[in-house]
Homo-oligomer: A and B are copies of this chain.
């Protein structure tokens, strides 16, 4: 079952096909098939990849194609429910940035699962988020209580899990061993339940040392920066990064981890699921203030869940089911983040901070795909 996707629509009669042919949904599906190379494009693309070139995609068109239409008859939750697993005694900004970005892009509900110390602070940043103070760090518990506390943490998180369309694992997670053990269990549960995961920050530290958490899971996205990418390559390919722009290495890395999708952040964002390598180079900003990766992870989570819904509801005859929603989500998330960063920089220049970029997400989205 590729990408955990089951085609739900089985249109068999001409009437339905004709009706679809004129619909915006149909036109978006057709666009996706064209822009990503049509049926059986994986082999073609793979052959192309031997030339070691990533393909710059028309990212804005992909944003338009997968964006979930607004419809007054829909109800709360149908445009996406995202959860960020992160936030500890040390870090509270990162999970906030990821979660609020998801809301500003159009998710209906955005949750944060963090430690008890982090929760009141993250809550106070914004009443828009639902913040669950359920995680624990070693410093606050005794060794003999660890087993029972871990079990309690997991049961509190698991009862929510199935409601979410995508998890973001890692922003501000920290590296406490007990906390990371609990998060490993959450990831195992999510994988078993076919819930997509975007893994960033300390989540990448966890995954690099425990590849089985994502290995072979097509609904996992890793979003490493230069250093996180180096560590992944060392661990997985047992080699050093010679040319950080080499698409072949990225493709091999994604393939070796069993077809997860990797978005390597940089001057261009380069994306591979082990079968294709795409790049997004539009817009962007020279400012490298901390927190931009968190916006990206929240954005990718929303677009991944929309792309997945889009593919799930597509006509099975149109071969959309061969498209990877994780790759589409990365392309769209990258494009929107880069446009928002460029808009914020235009206005704030050197003083641009992450909050300024978040404030530009709405206008950037509207410029790319107006919500008529």
Please tell me which stretch of A21-29, A68-76, A255-263 contacts chain B, meaning at least 4 of its Cβ atoms lie within 8 angstroms of it: A68-76
Closest to A77 in B: B288
Q: Which of A92, A109, A370 has the most CB of B within 10 A?
A: A92
Known A-B contacts A351-B106, A351-B361, A371-B350; the reply to A130 vs B290 at CB < 8 A is yes
Interface flag for A318 (CB, 8 Å) = no
Please tell me which stretch of A11-19, A120-128, A308-316 contacts chain B, meaning at least 4 of its Cβ atoms lie within 8 angstroms of it: A120-128
Contact of A121 among B120, B225, B349 (CB under 8 A): B120
Please tell me which stretch of A33-41, A96-104, A191-199 contacts chain B, meaning at least 4 of its Cβ atoms lie within 8 angstroms of it: A96-104
The residues in A between 220 and 259 inclusive whose CB is less than 8 angstroms from any CB of B are 225-227
Interface flag for A10 (CB, 8 Å) = no
Is A104 a contact partner of B351 (Cβ separation < 8 A)? yes
Is B350 a contact partner of A105 (Cβ separation < 8 A)? yes
Is A76 a contact partner of B349 (Cβ separation < 8 A)? no
- In the complex, A64→B106 CA distance in Å? 34
Tally chain A residues at the interface, Cβ within 8 Å.
Answer: 69
Residues of B within 8 A of A363 (CB): 351
Residues of B within 8 A of A292 (CB): 76
Closest to A355 in B: B128
Residues of B within 8 A of A91 (CB): 130
Residues of B within 8 A of A79 (CB): 287-288
Q: Chain B's nearest CB lies how many Å from the CB of A172?
A: 9
Interface flag for A362 (CB, 8 Å) = yes
Chain A contacts to B: CB under 8 angstroms: 70-79, 89-94, 96-97, 103-109, 117, 120-121, 123-133, 225-227, 266-267, 284-293, 348-355, 361-363, 365-366, 370-371
Is B355 a contact partner of A362 (Cβ separation < 8 A)? no
- In the complex, A103→B78 CA distance in Å? 30
Is A365 a contact partner of B350 (Cβ separation < 8 A)? yes
Contact of A288 among B108, B127, B284, B287 (CB under 8 A): B108
Q: Chain B's nearest CB lies how many Å from the CB of A182?
A: 18
Q: Chain B's nearest CB lies how many Å from the CB of A159?
A: 11
Closest 8 CB pairs of A and B: A351-B362, A93-B127, A70-B286, A106-B350, A349-B371, A104-B351, A124-B124, A76-B288
Q: Chain B's nearest CB lies how many Å from the CB of A307?
A: 16
Q: Which of A72, A117, A227 has the most CB of B within 10 A?
A: A72
